[in-house]
Structure 1
Amino acid sequence: MRFSRPDLCLCIAWVLIAFAGLQSVCASIDKCQPGKWALTFDDGPDRRNTLDLLIALKRNNVHATFFIVGCNVEENSDILKGIHADGHEVAVHTWNHPDLTTQTDDEIREQINSTMSVIYKTIGVKPTLMRPPYGYTNERVNRIMVELDLEVILWNVDSKDWKHVDMYGENETAWEATKQTMLTYLHKMNPEKDGGISLQHDKHRASVEKLDEIIDAVRKEGYDLSTVTQCISDRGGYSSPTVIRRVYSAS
């Protein structure tokens, strides 16, 4: 089949348009739609805190999103099952929390696929969201996530719970500082034009101790609380488990 010059130019134009569309897909997401708020918790499951966190979320009738570290699942598989059973969203936070921008392409895929595999083995779902450790990402990392059918989720509200614990230890001072940090963000936002994705960590007790007060404050400001997927779109948070890709070992 022969193409005329105009037809060939048109084909090239369509390829360039498609490539530009792929580039736009590579952007990270760091906030919800206006008026919506997603609580997110990284680095679990954690034997010390996650179960109490689930109790607090259920008490407040809130569904959150948990970004799971794969190497934590084997010893805490019951907790991951509890997260899923309670209706929370399960997402990927790599196998052992490396800076993905320093990893090779194959190492990045191994980090993600190993975590996807252990999540599927434990609760039978394939997440569609991931969060890079430390929030460190770049175009290369994002392109690999597109290849793996994952959206990159960052945040626009940082509790700095880890920083407060480093400064004060696991005590009331650190817990109160964590809450106040989140409230500072909250009071600068307007639900008519802003949405929030807040960052906390399972392993820090502030995630539990001040959660009731944080949820109450977010609601009083006029936000609806939901999972990340619900706050950025209307679709579900999992895709068909039949599309699980090759699993890499996590040695």
Structure 2
Amino acid sequence: MSNETLFISDLHLTIERPEVTRKFIELLTTRATQARALYILGDLFDTWIGDDDFSPPINTVKKHLKALTNQGIPVFYIHGNRDFLIGKRFSEQTGITLLDEYSVIDLYGTSTLLTHGDLLCTDDLPYQEFRIKSHATEWQENVLSRPLIFRLLYARWYRLRSYFHKRKKSQDIMDVNQQSIQKVMEKFQTKRLIHGHTHRPAVHDLQINGQDAQRFVLAEWKKDSASFLSWSESGYKVESI
């Protein structure tokens, strides 16, 4: 096992994107097998309608995640805006550990805040309202109690609806709010933040209470491009698959 920690997000796995699934399996069966830990910061799947869903490529992904955790490699997961219904059953089937929406880890001596990133997009008021509603226990229980075929059809409708809604929104509204970043990093007393969601990979330097800080934005995985953030005691690298 090497002394490095890997971070990924926004793979949006679906049957329509087999190339991305193959890249993920490649990571799980090669580089990740030597890692200290793997953190998946949300939206591994393009949609998630319940732990009883068996649509491709879910079973394949489960199998390879379980194979990795069986080797003693810890895998941690933070829910995204697309797969926030991933639950205990999926966790047990794969061996992954589900983390809170904001989680702080000690990353080689530096307190580091992890999140998916959607909570930081506070300018997108309609989405934030939906997020509050959809994360309520009553709403989730109501959705998950419906027949699987109904949830599959609903997921397709929601994806189409989301696509057209995004076309109407400005890119700035869908990006993170700088004041929200400041507040959350002050709240958790961290000088490093790692997140995904915005599909705007970059490393941002900033100031938190007069001290140097950094924000790392993970990349979305696509058919022709996929990358991960690797961290070791000597620092970080952004690597392509």
TM-score normalised according to structure 2 size = 0.38
Structure showing the higher strand proportion among its residues: 2
Structure showing the higher helix proportion among its residues: 1
TM-score normalised according to structure 1 size = 0.37
Q: Does 1 or 2 have the higher relative contact order (CA < 8 Å, sep 6+)?
A: 1
